Structure 1
Amino acid sequence: MITNTLKNSAIRTGRSFDLGKMNLSQLWIAYLTYPTIILYFVLAIASYAVMVYAYTAFVPVAISIAAVVLVYPLVWYGIHRFILHGRFLYRMKWSATLWKRIHFDHHQDPHLLDVLFGSPLNTIPTIAIVTIPIGYAIGGLAGSGAAFGAGLTITCIYEFFHCIQHLNYKPRMRWIQLMKQRHVLHHFHNENGNYGITSFVADRIFHSYYPDARGCPRSPTVFNLGYDIEEAHRYPWVMEETGSPPRDRPDGANTTRNAA
């Protein structure tokens, strides 16, 4: 009884729950009750309320939303490839903990839900910085509300599909299967490609896309992002925060299960 209670609690909160051992129904519960996702929903509703309050014309609002939809994948690609996979953040003491939280932990064990979602302290300011100026330039206050709300909505969609890609579940739709396969390759074969989550258009444009394991050699740093034992001794702050040396293989679920 106690074990089941703890398990159900973990499903509801999403904290430290292994996606490799969850089914789709459990994911929906964990996702819809996760505090970060709830916060995104609340802020998105508030943003759309601002849009309605300041609304004067349909076209600027529509263009603001469309602009965010087009820009979002490119911005994510740039952040993912050049910042999250860059090696400069862990080499500075003040930013090492940030890098550990926003991406290193996720690659060390890709199945853990509580490190899959970004921290709102990092994600919300980033979304605001990217979307609000675009919306304001196009449609003033209403455009800002529409753009920020669109950015938050896209983030919620993105995070759900990101969960699907690490879930012990084979999607029925072919396009979701392909999306999942590409992302699994990023985590378990070579991290220097397939940076997209729901779209790999930017990967194709910037020549970082590979469709299968044959298209790219296996990377020895796919789980530690280059922060190996040698780097950890040279720049110890992430290792000190973790309390253990970086791992070359993740704990948790079998790494072959998500490749389906």
Structure 2
Amino acid sequence: MSSSARPGIWKRSHYLDRMTLRQLWVAYFQYPAIIAYIALSLASILVWAEFPASPVRTALAAGSIVAAYPLVWYCLHRWVLHSNWMFKVPFLASTWKRIHYDHHQDPNHLEVLFGALHTTLPTIAGVALPIGYAIGGIGGAAGALAAGLLTTCVYEFVHCIQHLAYKPKSKVIAEMKKRHMAHHFHDERGNYGITSYFWDRALGTFYDRPERPAKSPTVFNLGYTDEVAQHYPWVKTLSGGIVASGHPRKRGDNSEKREAA
């Protein structure tokens, strides 16, 4: 999205390691994707009111989506966002760059922390609508979609808190933050959850940092190195000819970009 098309404070970039909790709240509710999720949730509720399912079926449809969300996120995060196949396909390279590579290149860049609507909305609808419809028809589908959209809002905010220069008062959220920071700054090959690490534990990808003493050399580039870029150049080209691997605050190119922003 070009800066001229961004609303309000989003005409400039924001970095969570330089923001307060209050500033995050203000930025969060002005971000276009969050506004879209909330608006579509309200629209889904109106559809439910027109074609209501029973309270039990509605609760079951919505609850099924909330329960399925951690597993869906785990699978997408591990096998899609951390894949090594998307950047090899020219027409998928820009999508992979936007939805996850840029986030690992600079984990505290708020604008690329949020999911891209052209990828999140089809995914949410693709999971929620069939399950909801099977449980409660049109009303069940509407309830499931609203649940999926609102759960996404919660996930996005918790994700922001995990990157914010802020110590959560909640021990539960502090533990989530600890795991997620290890994923971003120590070893990306594990701790794929956001609000739940149940599936990491179940599938063997949960870890504490002492268990992996050596830092992953690809934690900031997800394995997309200069050598890889020689064969698959599209992400590098879109990144201005740069493949960065070090800490984002210790790169000259990143400092220049931030000054420009």
TM-score by length of 1: 0.91
- Secondary structure, aligned partner of 1:227: coil
Partners of 1:168 and 1:14 lie apart in 2 by: 22
Partners of 1:19 and 1:109 lie apart in 2 by: 10
- Corresponding residue to 2:167 among 163, 166, 170: 170
- Number of equivalences: 245
Question: Is the CA contact (8 Å cut-off) linking 1:21 and 1:253 kept in structure 2?
Answer: no
- Corresponding residue to 1:75 among 68, 72, 95: 72
- The residue aligned with 2:218 is 221
* 2:38 matches 1:38: no
Runs (4+) of structure 1 moved beyond 6 Å?
none
Within-5 A mapping of 1:6-21: 12-13=9-10, 15-21=12-18
Partners of 1:43 and 1:173 lie apart in 2 by: 30
Partners of 2:223 and 2:201 lie apart in 1 by: 24
Partners of 1:13 and 1:87 lie apart in 2 by: 31
Query: Offset of 1:142 from its aligned partner?
Result: 0.4
Query: Offset of 1:234 from its aligned partner?
Result: 1.3
Q: Which amino acid aligns with 2:222?
A: L
Could you tell me which runs of 5 or more consecutive residues in structure 2 were left unpaired when the two chains were aligned: 1-5, 252-261
Query: Offset of 1:253 from its aligned partner?
Result: 8.8
- The residue aligned with 1:193 is 190
- The residue aligned with 2:177 is 180
- The residue aligned with 1:100 is 97
Structure 1 residues 14 and 219, CA, compared in 2 at 3 Å: closer, same or farther?
A: farther
Deviations 1:64-91 (A, max 9, x none): 0111011111011000000110100001
Partners of 1:97 and 1:250 lie apart in 2 by: 22
Deviations 1:112-165 (A, max 9, x none): 111001111111011000110000000000000000000000000000000001
Deviations 1:5-40 (A, max 9, x none): xxxx99832842111100100000000111110111
- Secondary structure, aligned partner of 2:188: coil
TM-score by length of 2: 0.90
Identity over aligned pairs, percent: 49
- The residue aligned with 2:206 is 209
